[in-house]
Amino acid sequence: MALKNTQVLLAARPQGWVTESDFRIVETDIPSPNDGEILVKNTWLSLDPYMRGRMSDRKSYAKPVDVGAVMIGGTVGEVIESKNPAFAKGDLVVGTLGWQEYAVTDGRAVRKVDPSLPHSVYLGTVGMPGVTAWLGLIDFGTPKAGETVVVSAASGAVGSVVGQLAKSRGCRAVGIAGGAEKCAYVTRELGFDACVDYKDPSFEKALAEATPNGVDVYFENVGGPVLDAVLPRLNAFARIPLCGLIADYNAIEPYAVKHFGALLTNRVRLQGFIVSEHLDRWPTALAELSQLVREGKLVYRETVAHGLREAPRAFIGLLKGQNLGKQVVKLA
Amino acid sequence: MALKNTQVLLAARPQGWVTESDFRIVETDIPSPNDGEILVKNTWLSLDPYMRGRMSDRKSYAKPVDVGAVMIGGTVGEVIESKNPAFAKGDLVVGTLGWQEYAVTDGRAVRKVDPSLPHSVYLGTVGMPGVTAWLGLIDFGTPKAGETVVVSAASGAVGSVVGQLAKSRGCRAVGIAGGAEKCAYVTRELGFDACVDYKDPSFEKALAEATPNGVDVYFENVGGPVLDAVLPRLNAFARIPLCGLIADYNAIEPYAVKHFGALLTNRVRLQGFIVSEHLDRWPTALAELSQLVREGKLVYRETVAHGLREAPRAFIGLLKGQNLGKQVVKLA
């Protein structure tokens, strides 16, 4: 066939903020599956903050993307040719097939999903970000009814689920987000008890007012000055699931944390984690998340970019907080 | 009797470094026990870094000592009069009777100990600091044979026990201490595999050389730049029992931690703790510690000040790291 496979490659390792010139868009031949393999046409691409780490060769928990290689990324797609008996043409599959329109895989890295839910949900609320929220809050945050749960980046793909799950456990859910629009979304649509705007000059005062009984669980996605504002609000025996530090990802020098001592005085348990190292918990998490979505008890919004060529710009917007809810790319 | 009770009171809340004028020494009448009470003549007083926190009214895990009240402190003493059937004249008791020569107590806050060990050991290796080391390392550090355990303030009452317990679990034990003399003590007398001098200009390089396989457990007593030197050495899934941050205790502004991000990239579990909140673990800890001391497998040194009037000066020396091993005061 005359069709080509559009791909986005990592062109250069960014210094500080990512720019569009750090990516290169190419067209290659569509690969053919061998025995045991399938050819997938990707229909949705996920954009996530962790990708910033993979662009860098700073020491991290995962190997970086090689310069010249296809950018890593979660995808939803349709099987268009199968030489693997476990898959049939037309199956809907979720995997990590990267920033490209077509990919061949042996099937071990993808799983079939129910096409009756909106397909892009498998990249967000019923996918990696949703499981991240579930695992961090339930397993590492161990929230108890009546406690106060605070989450940063509350309007994002992870944070939005954290707060709704906290409410489902009988907790007070307080979000931190950037700007009045995002805060209104967090309280009015997502049902958090409060949301505080970190860009507002009275942020610290507003945070104190929103957490009159202190903070028992702080689900951390951002770090930086937001972290330093929350640390003094922690209660004794508070828990911090440490999921992300997006404030540092584009910084040349990381932010220095002033109130580290609060971890001692409050006997805090902090746990850094990445969701891909806890695969045993995914089935339990996904079962609850998909059920809640079906019942309308777990809501979400998406910011959709159209076409793979828009992915670099949308990713930069994500890092700058320009999205509302889960950032995805609808492929042509 | 004509004897008087010498007491050391908190005279003022220190700003920055503690000075002798923050204390006031007084002589009062020796109290008499009522029914159910005992009168104890203290023979040893413990000096510990946590006392600095109790002198301040900065938010912490414990109420501060009131200005004008007797300074808090662990003691070993002899029962000299008993109106409580659980105690007899001559019993050796350990408790927290404060910076004074005599005290009356109802007996709930003291426990009888075996007089066949050197009495002051109950303030150190077989007392609160020893249990602190045991609890932090065993319960929160969860060391496995072959792993590398690093402990700061390694020549101190807690650190010295941490390293020896780590060796007993088959770990590589690496100390951090201030000065060549302390480091020599840590390796030669305490049997650590290595000890690094944080005052040496090549500290970071020496730390890297002493931890060729990275750091799996970091038992933290000091904080400050030492913490920032260790964080980049952490391995994936490292644990940090957070026991103390003595570098901050006399600072007006706490030290800002640069490498906080290492907690995320290495999926670290950090647990702040204070030993008095884990009383259920004390019997197990004390049983092992006293057995190891009897067998000569757990060694220690003490720095002894003579007479209660020397306690303020000795305490200031402790905060400046002038002691070697456990700092105690032998009462007259």
pLDDT in tens, B310-321: 999 999 999 998
List of chain A residues whose C-beta atoms are within 8 Å of the C-beta of residue B266 = 61, 272
- Interchain pair A261, B271: CB under 8 A: no
Q: How confident is the model at residue B3 (pLDDT cuts 50, 70, 90)?
A: confident
Q: How confident is the model at residue A226 (pLDDT cuts 50, 70, 90)?
A: very high
Q: Token pair of B231, please?
A: 């964080």
Secondary structure (DSSP) of B36-101: T-EEEEEEEEE--THHHHHTS-SS-SSPPPPTTSBPP--EEEEEEEE-STT--TT-EEEE---SBS
CA distances from B115 to B64, B129, B192 (A): 32, 19, 29
Interface of A to B at Cβ within 8 Å reads 59-61, 223, 227, 232, 236, 242-245, 248, 253-261, 263-274, 277
Q: Cite the DSSP H helix spans in A221-309.
A: 224-230, 246-249, 262-265, 282-294
Q: Token pair of A282, please?
A: 């995914």
pLDDT of residue A321: 86
Q: How confident is the model at residue B252 (pLDDT cuts 50, 70, 90)?
A: confident
pLDDT of residue A234: 98
pLDDT of residue A247: 82
Contact B8, B18 (CB under 8 A): no
d(C-alpha A288, C-alpha A285), whole Å: 5
| Whether the predicted pLDDT of B2 surpasses 80 | no
Nearest to A235 by CA among A171, A162, A161, A186: A171
Which amino acid is residue B327, in one-letter code?
Q
Q: How confident is the model at residue B249 (pLDDT cuts 50, 70, 90)?
A: confident
Over the stretch A60-77, which tens digit does the pLDDT of each residue have? Answer: 777 899 999 999 999 999
Nearest to A327 by CA among A72, A99, A44: A44
| Whether the predicted pLDDT of B61 surpasses 90 | no
| From B242, B256, B263, residue closest to A264, measured CB to CB | B242
The three-class DSSP label of residue B149 is strand
Average per-residue pLDDT for chain B = 95
Q: What are phi and psi of A151, to 5 degrees?
A: -135, 135
- Interchain pair A267, B257: CB under 8 A: no
Q: How confident is the model at residue B7 (pLDDT cuts 50, 70, 90)?
A: very high
**Using CA of residue A143, residue A146, residue A152, residue A153, what is the dihedral sign?**
positive
List of chain B residues whose C-beta atoms are within 8 Å of the C-beta of residue A244 = 264
Secondary structure (DSSP) of B83-128: -STT--TT-EEEE---SBSEEEE-STTEEE--TTS-GGGGGTTTSH
| Whether the predicted pLDDT of A59 surpasses 90 | no
d(C-alpha A182, C-alpha A156), whole Å: 9
Q: At what angle do helices A159-168 and A282-294 cross, to 10 degrees?
A: 80
d(C-alpha A182, C-alpha A142), whole Å: 26
Shortest CA distance from B261: residue in chain A: A245
d(C-alpha A5, C-alpha A26), whole Å: 8
List of chain A residues whose C-beta atoms are within 8 Å of the C-beta of residue B258 = 253-254, 256
Q: How confident is the model at residue B206 (pLDDT cuts 50, 70, 90)?
A: very high
| A209 CB-near residues (< 8 Å, 6+ apart) | none
Counting residues of chain A whose pLDDT is more than 70, the rounded percentage is: 99
Q: Which residues pair with B149 in a beta bridge?
A: B173, B217
If phi over 0 gives left and psi between -120 and 50 gives alpha, with beta otherwise, what is residue A178?
beta
- Interchain pair B257, A255: CB under 8 A: no
Over the stretch B63-81, which tens digit does the pLDDT of each residue have? Answer: 899 999 999 999 999 999 9
| From A242, A256, A265, residue closest to B59, measured CB to CB | A265
Tell me how many degrees the CA angle A97-A101-A107 measures, rounded to the nearest 5: 35
Distance from CA of B31 to the nearest CA of A (A): 35
| From A243, A265, A269, residue closest to B61, measured CB to CB | A265
- Interchain pair A260, B263: CB under 8 A: no
List of chain A residues whose C-beta atoms are within 8 Å of the C-beta of residue B277 = 267
Q: How far from chain centre, in Å, is Cα B317?
A: 14
- How much helix, strand and coil, in percent to the nearest 5, is found in chain B? 30, 25, 40
Q: Token pair of A158, please?
A: 């992870």
- Interchain pair B265, A259: CB under 8 A: no
Looking at this predicted complex, what is its ipTM? 0.90
Distance from CA of A257 to the nearest CA of B (A): 5
Question: How many CA atoms within 13 Å lie on the side-chain side of B87?
Answer: 31
Average per-residue pLDDT for chain A = 95
Q: Which residues pair with A328 in a beta bridge?
A: A46, A304
| Whether the predicted pLDDT of B51 surpasses 80 | yes
- Interchain pair B272, A264: CB under 8 A: yes
- Interchain pair A254, B259: CB under 8 A: yes
- Interchain pair B261, A244: CB under 8 A: no
| From A248, A258, A263, residue closest to B256, measured CB to CB | A258
Nearest to B272 by CA among A255, A259, A135: A259
| From A255, A267, A273, residue closest to B274, measured CB to CB | A267
Shortest CA distance from B233: residue in chain A: A59
Distance from CA of A214 to the nearest CA of B (A): 13
Query: Around Cβ B155, how many Cβ atoms within 10 Å?
Result: 29
Over the stretch B281-298, which tens digit does the pLDDT of each residue have? Answer: 999 999 999 999 999 999
List of chain A residues whose C-beta atoms are within 8 Å of the C-beta of residue B243 = 264
Nearest to B316 by CA among B4, B57, B22, B1: B22
Q: Token pair of B175, please?
A: 């100390």
In order of their start, the domains of chain A are 4-124+301-330 (3.90.180.10), 128-276 (3.40.50.720)
pLDDT of residue A15: 87
Which of B252, B263, B264 is the best mutation test for A, with the most CBs of A within 10 A?
B264
| Whether the predicted pLDDT of A264 surpasses 80 | yes
Counting residues of chain B whose pLDDT is more than 70, the rounded percentage is: 99
Contact B86, B38 (CB under 8 A): no
- Interchain pair B260, A236: CB under 8 A: no
pLDDT of residue B251: 75
List of chain A residues whose C-beta atoms are within 8 Å of the C-beta of residue B259 = 254
- Mean pLDDT confidence for B130-149: 98
Shortest CA distance from B235: residue in chain A: A61
- Mean pLDDT confidence for A24-37: 96
d(C-alpha B20, C-alpha B11), whole Å: 9
Residue A158 burial (C-beta neighbours within 10 Å; 0-12, 13-18, 19+): buried
| Whether the predicted pLDDT of B59 surpasses 90 | no
Secondary structure (DSSP) of B184-225: HIIIIIT--SEEEETTSTTHHHHHHHH-TT-EEEEEBS--HH
CA distances from A124 to A38, A127, A186, A285 (A): 24, 5, 16, 13
Over the stretch B85-121, which tens digit does the pLDDT of each residue have? Answer: 999 999 999 999 999 999 999 999 899 999 999 999 9
Distance from CA of B137 to the nearest CA of A (A): 15
